[in-house]
Structure 1
Amino acid sequence: MARGPVDQYGCVRWAPTDLPSGETETTLNEMKMRLHRMFSEDGFDGAERAEPLMEKTYILQRRYLNQVPAPTIDKVIEEWPFLSSRRCLYSHFKLLTDVSIISKLREAIHSKGSTIVKFCQGLSRYPGIAEVLANYDVEVSDKAMCVLQLLRTYFKEPQDAIVLEADPSATAADVQRMTRLPSTPRLIVQGNV
């Protein structure tokens, strides 16, 4: 399937103007209110049911996100709480770019991850590399985390430069309350890294 024309920063639907078929501004705003109710009742457990509504209200999301000045992350999450769910964020990214981030990530981990692991296996004397390789079974399901840890170790980055550990039972709100989150992006892993 060929990608459509690019309109901004590699995106194919940066600022859509056409409402979904059969929808009006009023019906889209009603859907947005339903999404808020769903989130207040079900939290992230409602993400699967919310996804179709999030896709329909995409035009409203883009209008909100494209404002000048841009809204803060806190305001975005307040206005569109399901955008912080993995499922709806991936769906939004797919609509924005015509790229399935999950399939691209799997592809990259499989091809480039194997290259990185092989390269690092030849660096067993490099400080920390052997330890990282000993902690992961890259042939099963740990390849992504192993690759991240190998890169972190190779470039001598501190553990929390890439990954922050959180309690496996913590919610996103718990993590924000417990930890002063850095201003730069990090992966938050629930459980041991």
Structure 2
Amino acid sequence: MQDIYGCIKWNVKFLPIGETQESQQQKMEKLKAMYQHSSEANLEEIKNLMKSTFYTQRQEVNQGKSIKYLREEWPFLFDELGMSVHFKELTGIDLKETFTRNLDLKGKRLLNYMTTVCVNKSKKFLQTYARLQRMRGQQSSCSDDVKEMVLLLLSYFDEKEESLFFYVEDTCLAEEVQLEQVPVTPAVIVCGTSCFSSTRYMLSLDQNLINTNISSFISALCLMFGSYYCFNIHYPSELASTLEFLQRCFFLINPEKGTKVESKNSKRRLNVNPRVLTLIQELSDQEWREG
């Protein structure tokens, strides 16, 4: 249930019409060759090839093939373009477009709620907010708003920043990242002392670097989130609320049943995290009052 949560095409039973195992293999090899020269590759062709081989990609993911194997055989699956094709087929949702559209609609309101209402409710949250303001300095770009929003969400739900972000020196090369210290679940590796000072990100999964050159925080966040769905990964309990809030509020994945949170005991989980529901409710109440 946790694997198929939020998916519309999790297990594809038949090859696309006109496709054979051989044609799928040929397309896979072609994609690998194109990845070697991705700066010259035709983006539309990559999209079409990724879409037509979705059946085989799903088979291999659902068989439990390792991330290392998938990275070698389907390199575009870990790239922004390829993952967005797979995610759209799998969930019916445009990964980055949906996030950025909802960011425009709700981001400012959420940040405003956090910085005017939540700061008065909790001393710990106020301290986090003050620390982020010092780190952020005078910067006022949209990207910095998103960084602040995610870090404040983690603080609001009392979840650990280090479960989601791993900080390295801004000059750190991929081979210098100490992967044994990185979380096993999808983690954004921030090249810099803080999210605000960084202009380069990497993504790790199963303590493997799967993308070493991500230029924007929003892209890194979308790739991190998309990985949970594309590779059948459960939300770790220490990030359960933050990820579910992003899922429901910004990525618009709203199943009525089930949960994507790993179960550590036999205790029956509620279908929707009550803390997430409360925050969504308070935000809509605030919009209604201001509206």
TM over 0.5: same fold? yes
Q: Which moved more, 1:54-63 or 1:19-28?
A: 19-28
Structure 1 equivalent of residue 127 of structure 2? 127
CA-based RMSD of the aligned residues comes to: 3.0
Residue 178 of structure 2 corresponds to residue 179 of structure 1: yes
Structure 2 equivalent of residue 164 of structure 1? 166
Distance of aligned partners of 1:30 and 1:105 in 2 relative to their CA distance in 1, 3 Å threshold: same
With the length of structure 1 as denominator, give the TM-score of the two structures.
0.75
- 1:12 Cα deviation from its structure 2 partner: 1.9
Q: Distance in 2 between matches of 1:163 and 1:31?
A: 35
Residue 92 of structure 2 corresponds to residue 98 of structure 1: yes
- 1:17 Cα deviation from its structure 2 partner: 3.1
- 1:78 Cα deviation from its structure 2 partner: 2.1
Give the one of 8, 14, 21 matched to 1:12.
8
3-state SS of 2:48 partner:
helix
- 1:104 Cα deviation from its structure 2 partner: 2.4
Distance of aligned partners of 1:147 and 1:11 in 2 relative to their CA distance in 1, 3 Å threshold: same
The 8 Å contact of residues 138 and 146 in structure 1, kept in 2 or not, is answered as: no
- 1:44-193 → structure 2 map (5 Å cutoff): 46=41, 48=43, 49-67=45-63, 70-122=64-116, 123=119, 126-133=126-133, 135=136, 137=139, 140-155=142-157, 159-166=161-168, 174=174, 177-180=176-179, 181-191=182-192, 192-193=194-195
The 8 Å contact of residues 47 and 82 in structure 1, kept in 2 or not, is answered as: no
Q: Distance in 1 between matches of 2:80 and 2:170?
A: 16
CA deviations on 1:44-65 (whole Å, 9 max, x unpaired) are 8758353321111111111111
With the length of structure 2 as denominator, give the TM-score of the two structures.
0.52
- 1:83 Cα deviation from its structure 2 partner: 0.9
* Identity among equivalent pairs (%): 26
3-state SS of 1:127 partner:
helix
Distance of aligned partners of 1:47 and 1:87 in 2 relative to their CA distance in 1, 3 Å threshold: farther
- 1:154 Cα deviation from its structure 2 partner: 4.2
Residue 19 of structure 2 corresponds to residue 23 of structure 1: yes
Structure 2 equivalent of residue 42 of structure 1? 37
Structure 2 equivalent of residue 3 of structure 1? none
- 1:13 Cα deviation from its structure 2 partner: 1.6
Task: Identify unmatched segments of 5+ residues in structure 1.
Answer: 1-7
The 8 Å contact of residues 109 and 143 in structure 1, kept in 2 or not, is answered as: no
Task: Identify unmatched segments of 5+ residues in structure 2.
Answer: 196-291
2:25 partner letter: N
1:75 partner letter: Y
3-state SS of 1:14 partner:
coil
1:132 partner letter: L
Q: Distance in 2 between matches of 1:110 and 1:102?
A: 12
- 1:153 Cα deviation from its structure 2 partner: 4.0
- 1:93 Cα deviation from its structure 2 partner: 0.4
3-state SS of 2:142 partner:
coil
The 8 Å contact of residues 44 and 85 in structure 1, kept in 2 or not, is answered as: no
Greater RCO (CA < 8 Å, at least 6 residues apart):
2
